[in-house]
Every structure is written in C-alpha cells, then in structure tokens.
Amino acid sequence: MRLSTKGRYAVMAMVDLASFCKGKPVALADIAERQEISLSYLEQLFGKLRKGGLVRSVRGPGGGYLLARDAGETRVSDIIMAVDELIKATRCTPGSPSGCHLSKARCMTHDLWEELGNQIYLYLSSITVEDIVERRVLGTSGLLFPDVVPQKAALA
C-alpha cells in the first residue's frame, strides 16, 4: 500500500500548524516554506481540511489557519480521510462484494490485503497530531528487522 502525497502532505501541514499555532493563525505560505510543499497544493488540501472540520480560517491581516479542535483530539486517520485519501491495500472497491478479477471473484489474498488496510487504519486512528508534535510516536520497526541496517552499512 502506498500513501499518496495528498495524505502525507496533509499530515505534515497539520503537524506544522499545531507546532506553530500557539493560539494565533498561521499563514499557509509559512507552512509551505517550512515543509517545502507547494502553496497552491496546500491551499487545495486546506480547503478539504476546512470542509472536514479540522481547521478554520481567519481572514484579514494576520490571518491564516487555526486547528478547529485540540491537537490531542485530531487523529491522523481523520486528516487522511478529510483529504479524500482511502486507506486500503486491496485493488477492490472498499465494501464491495465483487473482487478484482475480471470474473468479479476475489483473489486468494483478498482477505490478507483487506485486513492490512484495516490494521493501517487502526494504527493511524491511534495516533493524534499531539502525539507527533510531542514526539510520542515510537515504533518497533527498527526492532523487527535489526540486521537490515547493519547489512546496508556493511555495503557502504
């Protein structure tokens, strides 16, 4: 499964907003510069985030965007879903009884990929923007394959 730039950039921008907001609106141009994301792309994303109830805009001098709710209540999955990013690992349409084969049958690995998508969603639902800002996202990915890094280092 691959998360598109839409989802990744939306999460990056929301974390930036939470980090620099401090009760005052943050200009998208500032977020764009800090995160090295196109301003026009951010404008599109923030339109969706606003419609999704995750940010609110303030017009006029000193205007920009604020979080619509506390960073501790904003889950990564909320952000990804707000920008129309599907969290799925199958080729099939989510919730459809039809499979991805021409015959409409499900492939033998359908349940595996569907469950992977569910696990990704559950994980992203367990992480808040505040968790990221406070650096509380600790994973075990480095521990699952401890010999991978040393092998790469040995090749260098």
Name every residue whose Cβ is closer than 8 Å to that of residue 86 and which is 6 or more positions away in sequence. 94
What confidence score (pLDDT) does residue 111 get? 80
Residue type (1 letter), 23: G
Average pLDDT by stretches of 10, the chain with 156 residues: 82 97 94 97 96 95 94 96 76 66 75 84 94 83 54 49
The model's pTM is 0.79
Residue 149 corresponds to which tokens in the numbers above? Answer: 């890094």
**Domains parsed from the chain with CATH numbers:** 5-85+128-133 (1.10.10.10)
pLDDT of residue 31: 97
